[in-house]
Amino acid sequence: MEYSDMTFKIPQESESYQSDSRFVIDAIEAIIQSAINDGNNRIILNTNLKLGLPMENINKIAGPIIEAWAFETFYNIKDDSDNAYQLVNAESLPRLNKADILLQFKKTNTSITASVDVKATAEDIENSGKAPNITSFSRIRSAYIEDPDFMFIILSLKHKVYSERNHDSKLMDGIMEIVKYNAYDLKYLSDNDINYNPALGTGQIQIKDIHYVEYEFRTTWEFCRLLDRKYMKSSRRSFDDWFREAVKNKWIKE
């Protein structure tokens, strides 16, 4: 028995998926740019440290703080029912979810839901967050079978950190400032940009270099096959491993 012998469940995405993906990415990037333009891109960390934050290790705590900033930015937008981005809902997802934030947009007579994974990287630390793990192979593969229009957006936020003297407390405030951003649809990242990391459970889908990616437009089914190929090319995985996951997660017909 081989991969080509399988009777697959083949997802069929909507004809509008590609334009919907572009709509969501444009809206997300416009919201982040607006926050930067309005000066709402600074996170102030008040501490009782006289010498300020330990800059050499700041990237270790930046991730959840930047993620919280992103969620609040979207949440504040959705509260305005007449917002220009047509964002109607923003939810913070539980820790072990596939993504960090769930966004819903209104487009003409329909709605679009996007799962957003926030990745923070330091502007002034070389290779910071360069090749992040994104999500579990089996979890993301299953998501596209359950919903052929599943939209997984990676939001890369670059920040820089510095300290300022607080005139009232006379202590040093740490400032995290979001300075650059990019949003990508995972399904459209090029073959060369996607790696498979066999560590942790069924393995992790990984971006080779989150700062430099290219697009390859493909269908949901083509992306599922790409994920399968990455999985089985790993020296630590085999067809038997894949088949076990396929049966368990119902990727193939009985």
3 lies in a domain? no
For 98-102, 165-169, 198-202, which range has the lowest pLDDT when averaged over its residues? 165-169
Tell me, what's the pLDDT at 125?
59
5 lies in a domain? no
The predicted-structure confidence for 161-193, as pLDDT tens digits, reads as follows 877 777 777 777 778 899 999 999 999 999 999
What whole-number distance in Å separates Cα of residue 20 and Cα of residue 86?
13
pLDDT at 12 over 60: yes
The predicted-structure confidence for 103-116, as pLDDT tens digits, reads as follows 999 988 889 999 99
Tell me, what's the pLDDT at 55?
67
Q: Residue 54 is part of a domain; what is its CATH number?
A: 3.40.600
10 lies in a domain? no
Tell me, what's the pLDDT at 200?
80
Residues of 57-83 as b/e, b for ≥16 C-beta within 10 angstroms?
Answer: ebbebbbebbbebbbebbbebbeeeee
Q: How many domains does the chain have?
A: 1
Tell me, what's the pLDDT at 129?
55
45 lies in a domain? yes
Tell me, what's the pLDDT at 123?
74
The predicted-structure confidence for 69-83, as pLDDT tens digits, reads as follows 999 999 999 888 889
Residue with the larger pLDDT of the pair 99 and 130: 99
* pLDDT classification of 128: cutoffs 50, 70, 90: low
What whole-number distance in Å separates Cα of residue 39 and Cα of residue 17?
33
pLDDT at 40 over 70: yes
Mean pLDDT of the chain: 90
Tell me, what's the pLDDT at 144?
97
205 lies in a domain? yes
Q: What is the DSSP string of 22-75?
A: HHHHHHHHHHHHHHHHTT--EEEEE-S-TT---GGGTHHHHHHHHHHHHHHHHH
Q: State which residues form the domain around 166.
A: 15-249
Tell me, what's the pLDDT at 206?
92
Mean pLDDT of 192-200: 91
127 conformational bin, left if phi > 0, alpha if psi -120 to 50, beta if neither: left
pLDDT at 150 over 90: yes
* pLDDT classification of 122: cutoffs 50, 70, 90: confident
* pLDDT classification of 20: cutoffs 50, 70, 90: very high
Q: What is the DSSP string of 113-159?
A: EEEEEEEEEETTSTTTTSS-EEEEHHHHHHHHHH-TT--EEEEEEEE
Mean pLDDT of 107-136: 82
Mean pLDDT of 32-36: 96
183 lies in a domain? yes
CA dihedral 119, 125, 127, 131 (to 10 degrees): -10
6 lies in a domain? no
